[in-house]
Amino acid sequence: MLNAYGGRVAGDYGGYYQGRWALPTLERWLLDHGLGAPLRQLVQDGVVNLLQRLHVANGGYVRAIVPTTTHVAGKHDEQGLALLFAELQGNAPAIAVSTGEQRYTRKGDVDRFTGELEIRLVFLVNSLRSRVSRLEGDVASAASATADPGIYVMMEHAAQLLAGQTPGASGSQIIKPLDIVDDGPLESDNELELWQQSYRLMLERAFNRDRDLSLVLKQINTYHRLSSQQLTDPAILEVDTVVKK
């Protein structure tokens, strides 16, 4: 931005870098989709919220439903398993929710894309009953609605709560409903069962190609130096103004 004497006002644009204005602090945090948070975060938190009906606090049987950034590649991924167990803090039955890869396809215009985002659920059961009981449930699990029902029931309940639902911003046309993709085992031993269930959804993305022009327009200031005689002349006082919305 220029001051009244044609010089740049220090700090107004966060500095000048390689011949172009750097983004001001506020603008760096504005997102083109206008939903107030990154889409991955909105989707992940939305899935966690949809699963809350299974939590013990709401009359369910799951003791922990947590967002995570940990991806377990398989039963031989010792580091991933260790990180996941640390995040769950010994709570079981438990469900961990993460986002995976996102693939983009252009929608004709150079600034419009459809993104396909992967969502992963990991289910943990570590009861001391038999492996069959940890998978299918038993008499003890059937005796109470808050008892561990086994991995198979947990995955069915999750699918019933998620498939076809839209996580994240309510009423948004950007985030589309969830599609269930697959599920299967990750780890199994004499003490626990760890299974994974995958979903995908589509995200409608549009990016602002005119960001630099928009920033310049928001920063335009006009300076007028008028004499006392000119201040009384309506023809001189009628000027065009750029208004920041």
Q: How far is CA 140 from CA 43, 62, 127, 136, 204, in A?
A: 35, 16, 11, 11, 46
pLDDT range class, residue 47, cuts 50, 70, 90:
very high
* C-alpha to C-alpha distance for 74 and 233, rounded to whole angstroms: 79
Which whole number is the average pLDDT over 176-199?
89
- pLDDT score recorded for residue 193: 83
Residue 57, both tokens: 């606090």
**Does residue 243 surpass a pLDDT of 70?**
no
Range of the domain at 155: 39-206
The average pLDDT across 191-211 equals 83
Residue 223 lies in a domain: no
Radius of gyration (C-alpha) of the chain in whole angstroms: 27
CATH number (domain holding residue 194): 3.30.2000.10
Number of domains composing the chain: 1
Is position 109 within any domain? yes
Identity of the highest mean pLDDT range in 19-23, 52-56, 70-74, 139-143: 52-56
| 89, 93, 147, 152, 194 from 81: Cα distances, Å | 12, 15, 25, 20, 9
- Residue 239 falls inside a structural domain: no
pTM of the model: 0.71
